[in-house]
Amino acid sequence: MTLHELSESEQGKARDIIHRLLETNILVKDKDREGYMAARRYRQQLESYFGFLGWELTVDERHECVFLYIPNAGLRKRLDREQTLWLLVLRVLYEEKRSGLSLSEYPMITLYDIRSKYETFRIEWVNKTSLDKLIRLTIQSQLINPLDDDYRSDDARFKLYHSWMYVIQAEELHQLTDRLARYDTGEEGGLFDEVDEEAQAD
């Protein structure tokens, strides 16, 4: 059944999901249950629609998230260095923390964990204004969920969603970690010349 064969009401719901996926290419059940369930319900129609555009839709029922891969770089958000580093560090933490957890559990980190990882890679820590913007970026992209009101505190806890697996693929992670380990905050190019299109939050 195509989108045009759906009832008017169903078409409206499918259209809403398309709009949501164009705004941010990730939907997480824990964050947006209605959107996730609708994406599952209309998976066939959405796959056909996005496939026509040359895009790839993944409905990951195992990890309860939806990911829209858009190969055309022109439709992606361009990330600056600070945003790119933030995403890479959190992706590394996600991989470390999810080890040994069941699928029903989400990895948990604190702001202290993030700051410590910055120190490990000898990356300069961000100021308060930048921290607010970076946290909002990852919330809007359905990658994290802050569990405490004061997320500037070292004890502030964050839930990491399994959608991190789609921001940077596992096979790319080791290579990117090596680049982070060699990263010099005063160095131009290098890490970012290759990472800008890999670490994306569309």
The backbone torsions φ and ψ at residue 154, rounded to the nearest 5 degrees and listed phi first, read -60, -30
Query: Are 68 and 122 in the same domain?
Result: no
Is residue 56, in this structure, part of any structural domain at all? yes
- Of the pLDDT bands very low, low, confident and very high (cuts 50, 70, 90), residue 182 is low
Give the tens place of pLDDT for each residue, 13-22. Answer: 889 999 999 8
pTM score, two decimals? Answer: 0.82
DSSP codes of every residue in the chain: --GGGS-HHHHHHHHHHHHHHHH-SEEETTT-HHHHHHHHHTHHHHHHHHHHTT-EEEEETTTTEEEEE---GGGSPPP-HHHHHHHHHHHHHHHHHHTT--TT---EEEHHHHHHHHHHTTPPPP-HHHHHHHHHHHHHTTSEEE-SS-TTSTT-EEEEPTTHHHHS-HHHHHHHHHHHHH--TT--STHHHHHTTTS---
**Looking at residues 91-99, what average pLDDT do you find?**
91
Query: Are 86 and 180 in the same domain?
Result: yes
- Of the pLDDT bands very low, low, confident and very high (cuts 50, 70, 90), residue 144 is very high
Report pLDDT for 2.
76
**C-beta of residue 140 within 8 angstroms of C-beta of residue 133:** no
The residues, ordered by sequence, that sit 6+ positions from 80 with a Cβ below 8 Å of its Cβ are none
Q: Is the pLDDT of residue 199 over 90?
A: no
Distance from C-alpha of 16 to C-alpha of 6, rounded to nearest angstrom:
14
**Looking at residues 82-101, what average pLDDT do you find?**
90
The residues, ordered by sequence, that sit 6+ positions from 182 with a Cβ below 8 Å of its Cβ are 190, 191
Report pLDDT for 175.
74
**C-beta of residue 199 within 8 angstroms of C-beta of residue 84:** yes
Give the tens place of pLDDT for each residue, 69-85. Answer: 988 755 566 788 899 89
Query: Are 152 and 133 in the same domain?
Result: yes
Query: Are 93 and 181 in the same domain?
Result: yes
Query: Are 70 and 116 in the same domain?
Result: no
**Looking at residues 57-76, what average pLDDT do you find?**
85
Q: Is the pLDDT of residue 187 over 60?
A: no
Query: Are 60 and 102 in the same domain?
Result: no
Report pLDDT for 191.
43
**Looking at residues 145-156, what average pLDDT do you find?**
93
Which carries the bigger pLDDT value, residue 53 or residue 178?
Answer: 53
Query: Are 120 and 182 in the same domain?
Result: yes
- Cross-sheet strand order for the sheet of 108-110: 108-110, 157-160, 144-146
Q: Is the pLDDT of residue 189 over 70?
A: no
Q: How far is CA 157 from the centre of its chain?
A: 18
Report pLDDT for 133.
96
**Closest to 20 (Cα-Cα) out of 66, 73, 74, 70:** 66
The residues, ordered by sequence, that sit 6+ positions from 11 with a Cβ below 8 Å of its Cβ are 3, 4
Q: Domain residues for 53?
A: 3-74
Give the tens place of pLDDT for each residue, 156-165. Answer: 999 999 999 9
**Looking at residues 24-50, what average pLDDT do you find?**
93
Q: Is the pLDDT of residue 1 over 60?
A: yes
CATH number for the domain including 91? 1.10.10.10
The last residue of one of the domains, among 74, 98, 116, is 74
